[in-house]
A = this chain, B = another copy of it.
Amino acid sequence: MQDARHADLVELRRDLHRHPEPAWREFYTTSRIVEECERIGVDELHVGPDALADGDRTAVPDDAELQQWYDRAREAGAREDLLDQLKGGYTGAVAVLERGEGPTVALRVDIDGLPREESESEEHTPVREGFRSETGAMHACGHDAHATIGIGVLETIAESDFQGTFKLLFQPGEEMVAGGKPMADSGHLDDVDYLLAVHVGLDHPTGEVVAGIDDFLAVHHFRADFSGAPAHAGNEPNAGDNAVQAMATAVQNLYAIPRHGDGPTRVNAGMVGGGSATNIVPEEAFIEGEVRGQSTELMEYTREHAERILDNAAAMHGCSLSLSTVGGAPSAESDGALVDIIHEITTGMASVETATERDALGGSEDATYLMREVQENGGLAAYVCVGTDHPGGHHTATFDVDEKSIAIGVNTLTDSIHEIAERRP
């Protein structure tokens, strides 16, 4: 890659890094991406609601929250006409290049940030070099690099002799495992023969590329609201139905769901709360949590136990339970035939010091919805990891990406896409 192109990509990545936006709030991010696609020139551009299936979205924030991020994006310089298309939190986009006969190859990148503060330490590069988050959220998982790699690939493919159709999917809401399903169901994947997804880091250093990531844990993300009855805690505690007791009982038992002999499962009561005042028996409480499993079956096993626990913890304390799905994703595997191509390409690349064939994720990702959609239609899918030195762990305040990996990612994916198109009989 030319130095100038790399410099532009780094600048774009840093711009996105300064404006991290959580799920369905990616107003600035989407508008910025769409501007880039327009600059490059694409054949089709589906923005916001046109990139997503109707009615599938979960974890959508309320109107006040959406408006606040919308206004912020406008103040930060997002284009008004583009913002207009994203109203209601319909973020994300799909760009299409049509280059004649050939297979349809798609690349999926996710674009959202995490709802956490970024480090203020001078040792943290974004602080030192002036591109620390300005939104209160943080790109603590490298999705700024993902979107940037996507733009780099798009521009490179657009300038090349690629034969076929190339689709670039900018997916919102991955961190809430909420954006994968609406994009998988949008129809944009119906004709895709090959799907690549990409992630940076995952504890692999700069210079390593893993051709096929597997072992995505299936995940289900839920919200449980316990509703009881308040009472004066001094005069008549007996008159209350204590929602915090119900919640605490549920937490204790959720973590104690029996381990499964067939493979790993996970449970986390990641956010909890309840009560209104010290002297009032708590009327309301909630758990926002998740269950996971190595397979969808193992996740469902854990989910069934979790729901039984939540139901009975509520009933035990005279509370009612309202349970809703916030997000989720199935498990998936990278296809061998596609992994082989990518592994072969990376094995020969100068910038790739270590070409690894396979590794396990051990986490969850809603790219699996898109992978399964393509696989069910007879296509192939692979999830590629582009290593990057990251000083802090994923999701921590000091996470950062080594910007050299942006070029490696663009090269790996572009070369793989060309190879895929050429091999096609």
- In angstroms, Cα B280 to Cα A245, docked, is 23
Q: What B residues does A275 contact at CB under 8 A?
A: 269-272, 288
Number of interface residues of A (CB under 8 A): 78
- Give the residue name and chain of the B residue nearest to A274 (CB): B272
Q: Is the CB of B274 within 8 A of A273?
A: yes
Q: Which of B239, B264, B282 contacts A270 (CB 8 A)?
A: B282
Give the number of times this chain occurs in the complex, counting copies. 4
Are A316 and B326 CB-contacts (below 8 A) given A252-B253, A292-B234? no
- In angstroms, Cα B240 to Cα A277, docked, is 30
Of A28-36, A99-107, A255-263, A415-423, the one touching chain B: A255-263
Q: What B residues does A308 contact at CB under 8 A?
A: 315-316, 318
Q: Is the CB of A234 within 8 A of B396?
A: no
Query: Which A positions have Cβ atoms within 8 angstroms of B?
Result: 114-116, 175-176, 217, 219, 221, 230-240, 242, 244-245, 247-249, 251-253, 255-256, 258-262, 264-282, 285, 288-290, 292, 301, 308-309, 311-313, 315-318, 326, 361-364, 393-396
26 A–B pairs (Cβ distance < 8 Å), ordered by A: A219-B234, A234-B292, A234-B363, A235-B362, A237-B266, A237-B268, A238-B260, A238-B262, A239-B261, A242-B255, A245-B256, A249-B249, A252-B252, A259-B259, A259-B264, A268-B279, A270-B276, A270-B277, A270-B278, A271-B274, A271-B278, A272-B272, A278-B288, A278-B289, A311-B315, A313-B316
8 closest residue pairs by CB, A with B: A255-B256, A236-B261, A312-B316, A234-B363, A233-B268, A248-B251, A273-B273, A270-B278
